[in-house]
Amino acid sequence: MTRHKDREYSQELFESLQMMAARSPRNEHFAGPTFTHLDAIAAEQERELRKMKKFRFQLLHRWLTERFAPCRVADISGGKGLLAYLLQKSGWEATVIDPVYQPLIDKYKDISTGKRIKIAAEETVSHINKPFVMEMGQQFDLLVGLHAHGCNAAIIDAASAYGCGFVLFPCCVIDEPFFPPVGVQWLESLSDYALRSNKTATPFRLNFKGQNIGIYDVGNCRLIEMG
């Protein structure tokens, strides 16, 4: 029963975010219709078994590389750098921004083949060992915050100031400049903040267990076109 209620609540939140995004005049040009050629792929992926939360990096890497052309991307609060590493292997210029340096992990599972992949000891990803601040957005085309506690509002501010795109998967409200009002979800509050900053905040889902709803704005990023 609890799981069923969670699914219903997740769908209710997703639909709320869709309605909010529709308020943005930029949404008609930049959001869902841009990626309609991926509808069949997305539908097939939704039929896959729901993956464990630990595979969120691989799933987000797949989602990004299916839609965005390689660019300068900041993996904010990127921890051990798996997402940045996967994007780097796909031809992106990826940098982890995190005040606490952690060495790159030594292995991961390829979700397309099911095989475990070892990462050579000499492989690295670029790091900026500082907390993310808005001004850092000038160096990047796309800002990614996967559970980037304390950075979500700053990411939106940077995207608004410098034209970069953003992809956010917020979780807890920690060290942010504002809190959601009573009865409003953090994702809804962030979406509203983005919309008031003239961004689109289009919602999307990844197929893993737990909080799997994100929001994005493409900014000035180049997209992968059909064909």
63-93: burial string, b at 16+ Cβ within 10 Å, e else: bbbebbebbebbbbbbbbbbbbbbbbeeebe
Spatial distance between the Cα atoms of 5 and 18, rounded to a whole number of angstroms: 20
Q: Is the pLDDT of residue 104 over 90?
A: yes
**At a CB cut-off of 8 Å and minimum separation 6, what does 170 contact?**
145, 147, 148, 152, 186, 187, 190
Kindly report whether the global pTM for this prediction surpasses the value 0.95.
Answer: no
DSSP per-residue string spanning the chain: -HHHHHHHHHHHHHHHHHHHHTT-TTHHHHSGGGGGGGHHHHHHHHTSPPBPGGGHHHHHHHHHHHHB-S-EEEEET-TT-HHHHHHHHTT-EEEEE-SS--PPPSEEE-TTT--EEEPPTT---EEE-S---GGGGGG-SEEEEES-TTTHHHHHHHHHHH--EEEEE--S--S-S--PPTT--HHHHHHHHHHHTT---EEEE-SBSSS-EEEEE-TTPPBPPP-
Mean pLDDT of the region 15-20: 94
pLDDT of residue 2: 45
Tens digit of pLDDT for each residue in 23-71? 776 655 444 445 655 555 555 656 666 667 788 999 999 999 999 999 9
CB neighbourhood size of 108 (10 A): 18
Q: Which of 41, 113, 122, 123 is nearest to 86 (CA)?
A: 123
- CATH class of this structure's domain 2-217: alpha beta
Six-digit token string for 54: 């630990």
Tens digit of pLDDT for each residue in 143-198? 999 999 999 999 999 999 999 999 999 988 999 999 999 999 999 999 999 999 99
pLDDT of residue 222: 95
Tens digit of pLDDT for each residue in 84-102? 999 999 999 999 999 999 9
Which range, of 79-88, 119-128, 207-216, averages the lowest pLDDT?
Answer: 207-216
Residue percentage of the chain with pLDDT more than 70 = 83
CB 199 within 8 A of CB 159: yes
Spatial distance between the Cα atoms of 9 and 85, rounded to a whole number of angstroms: 33
pLDDT of residue 4: 53
Q: Which of 178, 208, 227, 214 is nearest to 56 (CA)?
A: 208
Spatial distance between the Cα atoms of 110 and 15, rounded to a whole number of angstroms: 31
